[in-house]
Structure 1
Amino acid sequence: MKTLFVRAATESLGLEYLSAALRARGHETSLVYEPLLFDSFRLRLPFFEPESAARTARRVVAQNPGLVGFSAESDHFPWALAVAREIKRLSRVPVIFGGVHPSTAPEAALARPEVDLLCVGDGEKAICALADRLAAGQGPEGIDNIWFKRNGVPVTGPVRLETGLDSLAFPDKDLFFREYPGFVLDTYSIITGRGCPNACTYCHNSSMRRVLSRLGCRDNFLRRRSVANVLEELTAAKKKYGFRRVSFCDDLFISDPAWLEEFAAAYPRRIGLPFFCNIHPADADQRAVALLKAAGATAVNMGVQTVSETLRRECLGRAESTEASVKALRLLEQAGLFVYTNFIFGLPGQDGGEMERVAAFAAANPAGFHDVNWLRYYPGTALLEKARKSGLLPEGDAKAVEEGAFSVPYGHGGHSYTPERARLRNMVFLASLLPGPAARFALSKRLWRFLPAFSLRLPAIASRALWARLRGNRNPYPNFSLAGSLRYFLHYLLVVYSVRAAAPAVRAVRRAFVTARGALFLAGLLDARRAARYAVYFIERRVLRRKIPGMAAFAATFACQCRCGACSSGTFRELFSDRVMNREKALARLEELARLGVPRVHFTGGENTLVPFLPELAAFCARAGMTVFVETNGLRVTGELVLELKQAGLACLNVSLDAAAAGAHDRARGLPGCHAAALNALALARKHGLPAMASCYATRESAADGSLPALLAAAAAAGASAVRILPPVPSGSWADRFEELSLSASDREAVLAAAFSSPVPALDRTGLVDCELSSAYKIMVLPDGSLAPCEHLPYIFTGSEKLAVAAVIASAYSENSFGPATACWPRNKAWRAAHPEASRGRVVYLPVPAVGRAG
């Protein structure tokens, strides 16, 4: 079975571990990655990311996976939900969420309608067991860590952790390498353990520990791989990929002195590449820093968070002193390591004076780069609960955090941005660039008040990294190098975003091509008489403003061998059953249409080939100069009938084709053999030189899953001269699913792409135009000779079987009857809501003012 993972903005080690586990079990995996260049931790200009969720969902559904998985942090949880929502609209594939946010707010995550299943905590064993069950057609019951919904009711279960990390398959780096090689070639990201020994109130580790305890999990939270296992992964990966540096993504890399001693002795000999890691100031004593230096570390990240020991202890749950951070910085600077420090602005109880002291700390204690992030509350953290109970964070805002509705990252404002704090934040950044005396002078004069409020973080950090390189540290980076970051940005900007920017122009060209190709096909159906009749019609209707239908739908019968679930003729069929129109009545009605100047007749209804005198009717229309189309399911089409219709003057045979696959088509038609008959009808038409058009519907599902292009290709291969693509109608089994099936703007883009690539002309009719029904744009003739305004509406003009067509058109068609022009009445949601009688499946009779009888 194929599991497809969806990820935005960054590489995910978690997904790589899940992919490796699934592949080891014999399952297939793939990735859909959305870079979100302008809506990530690096850069936040979300107005440059329109339609990213819909676009991503279409890419997912096009791969036809058996399971779709999201690993979501809180900052991108709303985006992941939007993608999942669109996937649910396009497909019935099950969707599972996991990762930090769903695991720290599992009840709220599972309550989301976009989420079918939830993986709480570690997922390697759970995802494999789930994939095995789904591949076997079984449910998810009884799998540790997998929560799900049964009939909309949450079903929870026990949660266990992976305690033997050395037994796990190494992460599947190819998952992201195939997407963008720079994810691996620039820096190899690796994790040597899971969990954390500390209990910081703002961190996901402490919230995860709290949730696991609440759920009854007693497994050890802090786990570490052996040094040998870590080096085995790096050795194999270095040989395969040839990367240049390593980033250890553990939250605390040096918390275990014995492990660090063993690592420092072996890593330089086995791997010998520069690396980055995260450390805690309390762990960074002289021995630990010496081991880091000896092992090959070139950059570290160290959280200080605040210079107030009271705030650090009481608000953040950290016991180390500020002096410990100062000592660690000095040791790290003496060792030549590039140090990133982290502070938080906006902490509860933190005033402006304390934030100025942070800036003074940065000026007095040089580091590679002093970074400041905004306070951002995350689900399950003790800090969130404290803010909620104290009233610092309103209940509505706290719920938004838990439900994933808040998405401003801590790098871009979080919950604590103010312009004044932003200016002081920039002062901290500049303290890393300015000489100490200059920074202290600027602080003493409070010159930071004149700094801009927009963030200077990006240019400041880039400047510090370049300065470090000039001073001899070639690798002062946490993950991507400066060049690697630029290559990543330019790659997606040129390969992805430039294509998207050109999309409107590309769509316009495609639309013009598809339209012109379709118009040429239709023009090719016209001989001199048909063209002359259209010209007269145009003058009379558009210039002289006469009420003349441009098309007459002629239903001589509603009898049909099929029982299509979405048939729009069900209401009429129930009324007329298998009745066939009297021959004389049919010819009389056609003569009226001819006299009126109608240029086109579509023989529709049920199955037209069940009308024994169909060729005679077609010949009558053709002699009058009308362009004639016959709709058929193909079941009764023979070579002899095709020749008869061709000789009668039929312009085009329209053959219904619902799917490229026989099973899907026959299920839709409710009768085996329909698919073969449809293809046979198209082949016979091509053999005998009769233009034939395959007629199909495009839904959200077929627009997304790739079945529409396959259908167009199958129609062309069978012999179709063209294909007509129609939007779904709210009838039959589609009535209750109409909103789900209806095409959005993005769906129509997919239809346009399919039409553009079609081997034969494709008449894309999915763009609904204002239907001028009130001005008699069309008319329908029923088996008893009565008249209806539209084949998709259950309306019949009262007593019209005895009335002249021209008289009914003159008196019954008006805005009083139908209202102003609407983009297809039966497909218009507002119109259907205002006319519930149109959806009840029963005929509605429309009054007709007293007029003359039929002649």
Structure 2
Amino acid sequence: MPEPCGGSRRTRDDRQDRAKGHSMKVMFVMVKEDYIDPMNIELLSAMAKQGGHETFLNVLEHDNLMEEVRAIRPDVVAYSAKTGESNVMYRANRAIKTAYQEKIFTVMGGPHPTFNAMRMQLYGEELKLPLTLSGPAMPRVVEDTQLDALVVGEGDESWPAMLHVLSTGGSLDAISNVVTRTNRRADGSVALQERNMALDDLPYLDRDVVYAKTRLKEFGMRSLIAGRGCPFPCTYCFNAKYNAMYKGKGKMLNRYSVDRLLAELEDMVRRHPTQFIKFYDDVFVFRTDDWLIEFADKYPHAIGLPFHCLVRSDLVRRDPEILTYLKKAGIKSISMSIESGNPFIREQIFKRGMDAEDIRVAFELCHKHGINTFSNTILAVPVPVIPDLDDPQFDQKAKELCAHLESYHRMNLGTLRADVDFGGALDQVARRKVVGYFESVGLRHRVLDYDIESIDINIQNGVVFGEFPELHPYPGTPVSQYTIDVKAFDGDFEKLHQNYQTESPFTCFTEQEKLEQVNLSLLGLVLLVFPSWRNLVVNHLIKRRWTKLYFVMYYLAKAYLIGFKIYPMTYSAGHIVRTVKESFFSELLKHSRDEGEKFYQKRKGLSTPPSEVLGGPWQS
């Protein structure tokens, strides 16, 4: 059984000691803190400490990066990036490399480099993109990162190996999952190790490195995963591409044993005051199996704290005993993503593999068990719309729409194709038949009709708490290629905002539609508290430029539902006031359109422009 990392820390006299294999100083950088443990950083820090290295954390949101770099003099600076926040990390990294050049080794892992490595230019590199990336679908965009290396996919073995090589002065080029300027392959492929199937051998997460610099130490909810992997092909998620990358390289699904999971939870609860646990697995359980039965038997006695996890509606409908055992274990709330109330989006675009009845039955079962429900539903999806009956171009638009359904979505239109091909002879009766078919497969007359349908399914199923993000395409996801194919997105992922409730990046929407989408993404949650406001909201309020007011309404609804229904915990009055203030400004910054604005905000003493916050050049 692995032990938690900690204890005495080794130091070094100077950087020349690296050749002797002495310990290094490793600084992790993240953009902002949240109320969820950054488990990627916590695991990497634990591994680094196992190797005898010293770890630190810098949070760009409130720490002076260059001041801390000068004080700590790290050997390695590491970033874990999602698309949307990578630009901020690039700017921070360029400041470090401008000031220290090769004296500090910088590396990035996470989803963004995993699916974007071939276009990320490294320090001292002249990058030429593979020919497979050229053409209208994928513009030739090179990201100037100034990083020394990238880690692609799992870093369980490559990260410790990299630190060992850096501390002894060797070459990184033979380490799997690592991309450098000297081992980069011309075709963009990366040599990957087998998936890690021995999760029990991993060290406990090093929460200390994060809690020493963030408010998470005062927050009563702790996050953990019970396993890795998801077999479902949802197109907005990276898992389908990730699974394809690792095909033939080990099991897709890997879990901690129940005893190993509970041992880490027990250690965590002993070391950090904990009231609530959130299991952050993509899918916590797939069926009523021996693992779930053992977990339900042991968790109440070993831990006994309320918890939250994510499952799928279709799995719950197929195997209702899942909820019986989760309830026995002590579950308080559950996530079951709907993703769209519209059948065309849900099945033809998102490939969810579940229907409205799966959703209805699963949420009804949760309500019967007294389990509060949390759902994610995606708005602002580029979709075709049905032409108006009196549109002079109806025949041509119907033909184009049929061609799209047949060629892109592989739909069999049957006799509809003959009706449409008849062309100009279509009268009003025939047109109504065509429109009726389009409606039957889930197509709608207005862009906003799809989003309103998604709000309605949440209200109808009594969802307790819901988020309504707008679609943002990410590298490596099938839906991003779909948005490029339908000419809604130009493939420039670096312009994406890291928050999903800002203006849509798609060119197919009008400015008014984008305004209504943002407003609906905020007011959707309010409607779960006040469903009787539905008509007022969808017919009137979303059309108004009152987004700032809607943000306040959204925040109040979110604070109430999260605090009392989804992750209920008990705090002192002072802590509640402080948390409300902190979380409000955190949400406000997340919803800012300009990523740089978060560095200008007079918050936590941070009121200086980016170049001064970093203590060095802030290059665009």
TM-score, shorter chain, exceeding 0.5: yes
- How far did 1:143 drift? 0.9
Q: Which residue pairs with 1:352 in the alignment? A: 448
* Unaligned ranges ≥5, structure 1: 37-51, 505-743, 751-855
Secondary structure in structure 1 of the residue aligned to 2:336: strand
**1:55-94 per-position Cα deviation (integer Å, ceiling 9, x unaligned):** 4244234311111110011121000101111010111211
* 1:253 counterpart = 2:284: yes
**1:543-592 per-position Cα deviation (integer Å, ceiling 9, x unaligned):** xxxxxxxxxxxxxxxxxxxxxxxxxxxxxxxxxxxxxxxxxxxxxxxxxx
Q: 1:483 to 1:230 in 2, by over 3 A?
A: farther
Secondary structure in structure 2 of the residue aligned to 1:345: coil
List aligned pairs for 1:719-730, cutoff 5 A: none
* 1:141 counterpart = 2:173: yes
* 1:429 counterpart = 2:525: yes
* 1:368 counterpart = 2:464: yes
Q: Is the 8 A contact 1:338 1:468 kept in 2?
A: no
CA distance in 2, matches of 1:467, 1:84: 38
Secondary structure in structure 2 of the residue aligned to 1:150: coil
**Superposition CA RMSD, Å:** 3.4
* 1:466 counterpart = 2:560: yes
Q: Is the 8 A contact 1:119 1:147 kept in 2?
A: yes
**1:91-119 per-position Cα deviation (integer Å, ceiling 9, x unaligned):** 12111110111112121235534121011
Q: Is the 8 A contact 1:429 1:457 kept in 2?
A: no
Q: Which residue pairs with 2:134 in the alignment? A: none
Q: Which residue pairs with 2:138 in the alignment? A: none
Aligned length: 479
- How far did 1:240 drift? 1.3
**1:437-496 per-position Cα deviation (integer Å, ceiling 9, x unaligned):** x2455378666545834473563364365368778983599xxx9768437559999x99
Aligned-pair identity in percent equals: 22
Q: 1:500 to 1:387 in 2, by over 3 A?
A: closer
CA distance in 1, matches of 2:562, 2:484: 43
Q: 1:8 to 1:485 in 2, by over 3 A?
A: farther
Q: Is the 8 A contact 2:376 2:468 kept in 1?
A: yes
Q: 1:175 to 1:318 in 2, by over 3 A?
A: same
- Work out which of the residue numbers 277, 281, 289 in structure 1 matches 2:309: 277
Q: Is the 8 A contact 2:173 2:183 kept in 1?
A: no
Q: 1:164 corresponds to which letter in structure 2? A: A
CA distance in 2, matches of 1:357, 1:314: 16
CA distance in 2, matches of 1:749, 1:203: 37
* 1:124 counterpart = 2:156: yes
**1:651-695 per-position Cα deviation (integer Å, ceiling 9, x unaligned):** xxxxxxxxxxxxxxxxxxxxxxxxxxxxxxxxxxxxxxxxxxxxx
Q: Which residue pairs with 1:499 in the alignment? A: 605
- Work out which of the residue numbers 155, 160, 165 in structure 1 matches 2:199: 165
CA distance in 1, matches of 2:224, 2:253: 17
Q: Is the 8 A contact 1:104 1:211 kept in 2?
A: no
Q: Is the 8 A contact 1:277 1:299 kept in 2?
A: yes
* Unaligned ranges ≥5, structure 2: 1-23, 123-143, 385-446, 507-512, 587-597
- How far did 1:745 drift? 6.9
Q: Is the 8 A contact 1:189 1:249 kept in 2?
A: yes
Q: 1:8 corresponds to which letter in structure 2? A: V
Q: Which residue pairs with 2:32 in the alignment? A: 9
Q: 1:376 to 1:471 in 2, by over 3 A?
A: closer
Q: 1:148 corresponds to which letter in structure 2? A: T
- How far did 1:34 drift? 2.5
CA distance in 2, matches of 1:173, 1:210: 32
CA distance in 2, matches of 1:461, 1:22: 38
Q: Which residue pairs with 1:646 in the alignment? A: none
- How far did 1:377 drift? 0.3
Q: Is the 8 A contact 2:76 2:106 kept in 1?
A: yes
- Work out which of the residue numbers 293, 309, 332 in structure 2 matches 1:298: 332
Q: 1:488 to 1:226 in 2, by over 3 A?
A: farther
- How far did 1:144 drift? 1.3
Q: Which residue pairs with 1:84 in the alignment? A: 93
Bigger relative CO (Cα 8 Å, ≥ 6 apart): 2
Q: Is the 8 A contact 1:71 1:98 kept in 2?
A: yes
List aligned pairs for 1:397-546, cutoff 5 A: 398=491, 400-401=492-493, 404-416=494-506, 418-434=514-530, 436=531, 438-439=532-533, 441-442=535-536, 448-449=542-543, 452-454=546-548, 456=550, 459-460=553-554, 462-463=556-557, 466=560, 474-475=568-569, 485-486=579-580, 488-489=582-583, 497-501=603-607
CA distance in 2, matches of 1:305, 1:405: 24
Q: 1:227 corresponds to which letter in structure 2? A: V
**1:597-633 per-position Cα deviation (integer Å, ceiling 9, x unaligned):** xxxxxxxxxxxxxxxxxxxxxxxxxxxxxxxxxxxxx
Q: Which residue pairs with 2:231 in the alignment? A: 197
Moved more, 92-101 or 149-158: 149-158
CA distance in 1, matches of 2:305, 2:349: 38
CA distance in 2, matches of 1:427, 1:15: 34
Q: Is the 8 A contact 2:380 2:504 kept in 1?
A: no
Q: Which residue pairs with 2:442 in the alignment? A: none
TM-score, with structure 1 as normaliser: 0.52
**1:759-812 per-position Cα deviation (integer Å, ceiling 9, x unaligned):** xxxxxxxxxxxxxxxxxxxxxxxxxxxxxxxxxxxxxxxxxxxxxxxxxxxxxx
Q: Is the 8 A contact 1:32 1:60 kept in 2?
A: no
- How far did 1:5 drift? 1.0
Moved more, 201-210 or 107-116: 107-116
List aligned pairs for 1:210-289, cutoff 5 A: 210-213=244-247, 218-258=249-289, 259-285=291-317, 286-289=320-323
CA distance in 2, matches of 1:455, 1:121: 41
Q: 1:135 to 1:56 in 2, by over 3 A?
A: same
Q: Is the 8 A contact 2:338 2:376 kept in 1?
A: yes
CA distance in 2, matches of 1:261, 1:135: 45
CA distance in 2, matches of 1:190, 1:365: 29
Q: 2:252 corresponds to which letter in structure 1? A: F
- How far did 1:293 drift? 2.1
Q: 1:472 to 1:455 in 2, by over 3 A?
A: closer
CA distance in 2, matches of 1:338, 1:344: 20
Q: 2:469 corresponds to which letter in structure 1? A: N
CA distance in 2, matches of 1:279, 1:476: 26
CA distance in 1, matches of 2:566, 2:251: 42
